[in-house]
Amino acid sequence: MEHTTPGHPCWLELVTPDRDRTVAFYSGLFGWTTTEPVPELGGYSQFQLEGRPLGGLMPEVPGMTGAPGWTVYLATRDAEALATKAEKAGGSVVVAPMALPDLGTMVVVADASGMEHGGWQAGPFAGLDSQERPGDPIWFEAYSRDFTATHDFLRDVFDWTPHLTGDTDEFRYATSDVPETAKAGLMDASGWGEDFAPGWASYIKVDDMDATLTRVAELGGSVTQGPDDTPFGLLAEVADPTGQRVKIMVPPAG
């Protein structure tokens, strides 16, 4: 799965208020392992599967990390240029481009609606290595209260070529490219209630939905949505023991 093309999701990152419970949950659910925390980086470590990097894990540090939750990073060839484009497109720079030695350069920007998007300029480290096996992230989705603002921002700043697959008040959705090559989607969440917080979600592949949901409960998590049988597969949303949510998916056979 190619993740270095501009606009393609290339990294996940979870800020957690309880590292030990989080590690136990994702290890027990998806088979993820974690590297040793790096004190110089505030205790940052990596989620891995079979030795392949999938995402980052950061303990919550007041004044440093922001609130707990997941961030999805999209690939860019030039983080500095992306920050400039974000401001020209009516957005803002939340975290200025920051070079991480021997890794690459990160940046976080917000579109005109205030929704945040991570950017990653690969250095020696390109990002996640998903081989679309069980336990791997296989799809990414943005949920925006202002579909047009986010749609245009992803197009103009992250080089998406959005393809509308639904355009009604009941269902408005675009993929990052034509469906055959798209790696992410954008959902209109304007009618989802005042309590809904815009953001990005990742879908993790599983091979047995019932067994996975049973395991979620055993590990202290909860099922927050589904499972739903859709043309795109069997989908559900679960929350880990600290309340951070992730999607799970059994893709269609074949």
Which pLDDT score, from 0 to 100, does residue 3 have? 66
Instruction: For residues 243 and 232, give the distance between their C-alpha atoms in angstroms, rounded to a whole number.
Output: 26
Q: Class of 137-250 per CATH?
A: alpha beta
Whether the predicted pLDDT of 232 surpasses 90: no
What's the distance, Cα to Cα, between the start and end of the chain in Å? Answer: 17
Nearest to 204 by CA among 4, 12, 42: 12
Q: Model confidence over 125-165: pLDDT tens digits?
A: 999 999 999 999 999 999 999 999 999 999 999 999 999 99
Q: Model confidence over 165-178: pLDDT tens digits?
A: 988 888 999 999 99
Nearest to 56 by CA among 77, 37, 31, 76: 37
Instruction: For residues 81 and 159, give the distance between their C-alpha atoms in angstroms, rounded to a whole number.
Output: 12
- Domain range 9-122, CATH architecture: Roll (3.10)
CATH topology match: 9-122 vs 137-250? yes
| Ordered alpha helix ranges (H), the chain | 19-30, 79-88, 147-158, 209-218
Residues 6 or more apart in contact with residue 210 via CB below 8 angstroms: none
For residue 102, name the pLDDT band (cuts at 50, 70, 90): confident
Residue 32 dihedral angles phi and psi, to the nearest 5°: -70, 145
Q: Model confidence over 14-34: pLDDT tens digits?
A: 999 999 999 999 999 999 999
Residues 6 or more apart in contact with residue 79 via CB below 8 angstroms: 97, 105, 106, 107, 119, 120, 121
- Taking the domains of the chain in order of start, what are their residue ranges? 9-122, 137-250
Q: Model confidence over 109-121: pLDDT tens digits?
A: 999 999 999 999 9
Which pLDDT score, from 0 to 100, does residue 64 have? 66
- This prediction has a pTM of 0.94
Task: Compute the C-alpha angle 113/115/116, nearest 5°.
Answer: 140
Q: Model confidence over 46-78: pLDDT tens digits?
A: 999 999 999 999 998 776 677 889 999 999 999
Which pLDDT score, from 0 to 100, does residue 254 have? 62
- How many Cβ atoms are within 10 Å of 35's Cβ, its own excluded? 13
Task: Answer yes or no: are the C-beta atoms of 133 and 195 closer than 8 Å.
Answer: no
Whether the predicted pLDDT of 1 surpasses 70: no
Which pLDDT score, from 0 to 100, does residue 160 have? 97
Pairing of strands 199-205, 245-250: parallel
Nearest to 51 by CA among 39, 35, 28, 29: 35
Instruction: For residues 213 and 31, give the distance between their C-alpha atoms in angstroms, rounded to a whole number.
Output: 15
Cα 170 versus chain centre, distance: 24
